Amino acid sequence: MKKIKYVNVYLAFGSNIGNRKKNIEKAFEKLKQKNIRLIKKSSYYKTSPVGPSQRFFYNSAAKFRTSFTPKDLLMILKKIEEDLGRIKNIKWGPRIIDIDILFYSDKIIRQKNIIIPHKEIKNRLFVLYPLAEIAPSLTHPNYKKQIKTLLNKALTESSDFIKKL
């Protein structure tokens, strides 16, 4: 019998259409239905959007355990987004739900359609704040810096609005 290897993954969630908190909670429920086990979840944060003028986002981050490969996990996340009503139209535009893979174990993956760790982590307060809440000592495998260190640096370079709910 083949042994299933479980890994820790960190995901980021965002929503700025409809009931933002409920949209993220629905995504968590759909992940649970796929046997992707929640380990730790951050608070919700209200954050300014990147890109065109639009409603503020609610963001969260969470740690999960999964046996899915990175590619299979990405396909599951895209299907959940679609099931919840996500329509891709404008880059960085409004969305009912957005789910990104931030980290997959300590792997660095560069393939067509999948880049892990997520390439914008160090520039995004809406990712760093919730991630630092649940994993401040997690080390970014590319930068060899802890999340709390990346957050402190981003705070000195960003004027984005962020508020813990």
Which residues are catalytic, by number? Answer: 86, 95, 98, 100
φ, ψ for residue 128 (rounded to 5)?
A: -65, -40
SS3 1: coil
Amino acid at position 165, single letter: L
* CB-based contact 61:134 (threshold 8 Å): yes
* CB-based contact 13:31 (threshold 8 Å): no
Amino acid at position 50, single letter: V
- Burial (CB < 10 A; 0-12, 13-18, 19+), residue 114, is middle
